[in-house]
A and B are shown apart, each in its own frame.
Chain A
Amino acid sequence: MSSSTTRNRKDGPSTSEADATTSSASLGRPNDNNVAGTVPATVTEPNAPSPDPTPAKSSKIKPPPPEQQSHVLRRSLIIASFWLVVLCLGVPIWWRTTTIYRANLPLDQMTSWADGKSCNPVLPIRVAIASPDLTEQEVQDLISTTQSNLDGIPDLPSLQLRLEAAAQTSLEDTPESHGDNSIPLVLRLTQGDGTMSEPMSSLHTLFPILEITYPPSLKPTPETKSSGLATYITAQLRNTFAEEQAILSYLLGSSAISSDRQQSSQHTIDESLSKRITRSMKYSGTYHLTFSLFTSGSSPSSWDIDSAINEYMQPVLDMLRPIHNFTIDTQVQLYAIPGVQSQVLTKEELSSFINAAEWPLSPSIGGAPTINFVIYMGNQTIGLNTAEETSQSWLVPQWGSVYLLSPPAAAHVPSELLKQPVLTFASHLLSLLGTPQSGSLPMRLSTLTRVRSVDMVLRASSSLGSLARLSLALPSISIPSSVAEGVAKSIHHLELACSALGSTDSLEHARIAETEAERAFFEKSMVGQLYFPDEHKVAVYLPLLGPVGVPLVMGLITEIKNWKARRQQKA
């Protein structure tokens, strides 16, 4: 009843003449009027068939008057417009605001990097042969024989040694001639006098030069094809690069990239190498060095660490400059109590000597990892079970090193007293950075550069692989476009690094690739609660969709029913 009333009220202006007359006629009735001007609540429509002219109260039983065609149409239009708004505006907005943005990642490329298919981790190493005593033809023969020898040995799968004749300048010991790092090793062959029977070799201390002195009997001739000397050179090269190969095999083995080629050499990794690689720090462009002086009492309270570092440490830092940067700070702490009090320290006690709870050895504020160098002034000594003499220092893997020093008489520690500790720290620094142990210093450094660049390439590839797997595994995680950019940049630099693997540029590219891959993986916005149980979704949507959805759906259903009924009536 009331619904028909409201319809009438709404349709006010368009009511027909007949309606108007009835309403004006019914105005005469005393009770049923609302506020003046509105249509009465119990209007009897004139065109309704009213078989029984009973009072208004019994009109409830009466069937509603048939609707006008225009009303039916209008109602359908209203319902359609509601649905139109919901479907054209509501649903797209809901879809757009709740959808998770996932940038397109080159997943195939990323996985292929991670699987080691995109880059063959083989380092091309150019080795120049300089021999003042041989003619050019002899040198060429020697090179081709040695090269075929080298290609024949299976010991160096990750290194590709390429021999070439050296330019004349590399015979001189000047910095210019060895300034470019494109040639990591120069072989200098000299003919010895007749007294020697065996060839001899030694590494030059300042430059990456392998000096080989051979007896005249081994001098290559066109007939012998210089095989004796070639064999010797091959053996020497193999020895020189053995450690680098071992480290590379270890890195390749421990990364996910373990192609079949590497399987053979995997079991040969020895314990000490694994230990050495384990203790070295993760690569970083910059390291922070903290030098700390802890004293058991009130003295000594000052030290000449500045001059000591300048004198004994700085050269090493300068030498490492192309690979790493360093920042330094120092501190003095008085009345420091070590974690172990006993006079003679055993090896087990040494590991808890650092009083981590009390000593202020917190990491640096900046982004660089910290390496700690601690000098403790006290009367304790190290006593190991073994009979051999031990020094006063020990190395803590991935952390730093400690040096025990007996306190001087004065309150000030002069720089001379600090010489031995700082020198020890310098050598510890080299091992903490992962510098290889065999060979001359220049060779160790260039090996470090190459090994680190391979390491970076592997790390970046593995990060990319992790990201690819992660994005597949967690379909509800959002991937912002910055991640895709980072991945693209990383892959680009990986390609550059891989194409020039072994050169100094490659380290730089590998470093950028690694940074970008890390940044992409650790993208800040790629977090949030990833898993929502279905109950949560129901709990969120029901209060919203219930009150809105029920009238909408019900309206639609009634409308369709009415429409069907009307069609049946017509038919």
Chain B
Amino acid sequence: MRLSQILRLPTLLASVLLAPVHLAAAEHTSNWAVLVGTSRFWFNYRHLANVLSMYRTVKRLGIPDSQIILMLPDDMACNPRNAFPGTVYSNSDRAVDLYGDNIEVDYRGYEVTVENFIRLLTDRVGDEMPRSKRLLTDDRSNILVYMTGHGGNEFLKFQDAEEIGAFDLADAFEQMWEKRRYHEILFMIDTCQANTMYSKLYSPNIIATGSSELDQSSYSHHADNDVGVAVIDRYTYYNLEFLEAEVRDLSSKKTVGDLFDSYTYEKIHSNAGVRYDLFPGGADVARGRLLTDFFGNIQNIEVDGGKNSTVDDEMLALSRTIARLRAMADQQDQEPNNSTKSARPDTKLTKRRQPAKPLTNDNWWSQKLVGATTLAGCAALWTLGSYLEGARSRRRHVDI
């Protein structure tokens, strides 16, 4: 509550200030996908299959692995209960092995935590995190965020151990917006009471959709008797069906609105929800966005015109000369410095030979002081104790 109150003013200001710019530069330059499954254990096979089917779809439409963040909390393919080892299927016809031989999981097993998910979104990671596991988006990136797992009213459970709240998610998106880390986001979530998860979002440029309303479950589509468990959820199944049938390649002109219109209660067995109000321009603009803006990797490539090798040659010759001239200038700059430099190393060498130093120099003295006081205190206690002991035994001697 307090957050939204304080935030309202700056966001309003920012939206006022930024509005003309965003209209002028309405195109995006890169597409990212964050696909998150949040449940462990064999009977949640379908959640993993959900995520992997989305992964296959975005990859089919050209988003490279380096721009897909895939979070899989469990390894169904290698589960001992899997009758088809090394494979994951999302359909009982078992036509497509989702696991395949070309899959790049970024966060696996116990790495899938609420903290890591929020770190991923806000990019608060250490230097040790490789670039492939980071969401390196900018203000021109469209992001597809897909989540699936077990959820409830305003939360989504992670790994049966913790949960992410709708407020946490909204704050994370707000931090992304504040740091201009996205252009537009399509947020999809397939869990029980999914629509509550996006109800707290307050950052602009987000289209959100979920599988079921408050107090509604999200149902699985069908089970595979040989695998022994349900293999896919209804909402994801019908999303995929639409994407497979209507968005065959990047040239597809199907819009987000077309996809949302295909949801019916008869198919999904719950009321799928959509939220447009965060999008500038509202429902009309949001519905008009192409599906490939989020699921595909649109590149506004620029084909070079006719060959002009002479220009290139000239540029090469020029840059060669400029580099040479600059090197000469640098050399000349350094020559007068050399004489002064030669004297320096001796002093430096003697300086370096110092005793081991603490890593940080701040409040070195106070730390020393605390240590000394503790030592002195211990010694005093010991002396006191031994003195008392001595006194008592002396008295006892007297008593006897």
Contacts and interface: CB of A to CB of B under 8 A. Distances in A.
B326 A319 contact: yes
Contact of B65 (A175, A258, A362, A393): A362
A533 B165 contact: yes
A111 to B, nearest CB: 9
A206 B321 CA distance: 8
B102 A358 contact: yes
A316 B322 CA distance: 9
Contacts of A529: 114-115, 118, 164-165, 168
Contacts of A178: 325, 329
A347 B305 CA distance: 13
B74 interface: no
B178 A469 contact: yes
Contacts of A524: 119, 124-126
A279 B171 contact: no
Interface stretch (A38-46, A69-77, A420-428): A420-428
Interface in A362-411: 362-365, 367, 369, 382, 384, 388-391, 393-399
B302 A279 contact: yes
A389 B303 CA distance: 11
B3 A474 contact: yes
Interface in B140-191: 140, 164-165, 167-168, 171, 174-175, 178-180
A154 B251 CA distance: 45
B328 interface: yes
Closest 5 CB pairs of A and B: A356-B64, A318-B323, A179-B329, A531-B167, A315-B320
Contact of A318 (B119, B168, B319, B329): B319
A282 interface: yes
A205 interface: yes
Interface in A238-295: 253-254, 256, 258, 266, 269, 274-275, 278-279, 282
A245 to B, nearest CB: 18
B250 interface: yes
15 contacts: A175-B328, A179-B329, A279-B302, A339-B62, A348-B251, A391-B305, A395-B301, A469-B10, A470-B175, A472-B6, A527-B115, A527-B118, A527-B119, A527-B124, A531-B168
Interface stretch (B87-95, B205-213, B306-314, B340-348): B306-314
B271 interface: no
Contacts of B140: 278, 398
B220 interface: no
Nearest to B298: A351
Interface stretch (B24-32, B255-263, B377-385, B386-394): B24-32
Contact of A256 (B14, B127, B164, B167): B14
Interface residues of A, number: 82
Contacts of B313: 423
B299 A396 contact: yes
Contacts of B318: 205-206, 441
Contacts of A253: 21
Contacts of B80: none
Interface string B5-30: 01100100010011011001101011
A109 B131 CA distance: 32
B366 interface: no
A394 B303 contact: yes
A397 B124 contact: no
A354 B62 CA distance: 8
A214 interface: no
B94 to A, nearest CB: 21
A500 to B, nearest CB: 19
Contact of B332 (A176, A351, A369): A176
A462 interface: yes
Given A351-B299, A363-B131, A254 B25 contact: yes
Contacts of B307: 389, 391, 420
A528 B115 contact: yes
B59 interface: yes
A182 interface: no
B65 A356 contact: yes
Given A420-B309, A423-B313, 10 more contacts: A175-B332, A256-B18, A279-B300, A282-B138, A318-B320, A321-B326, A322-B326, A358-B102, A382-B303, A527-B118
Contacts of A274: 24-25
A394 B301 contact: yes
Contacts of B127: 367
B124 A523 contact: yes
A470 B178 contact: yes
B242 to A, nearest CB: 20
A522 interface: yes
A64 interface: no
B316 interface: yes
A255 to B, nearest CB: 9
Contacts of A469: 7, 10, 178
A339 B299 CA distance: 14
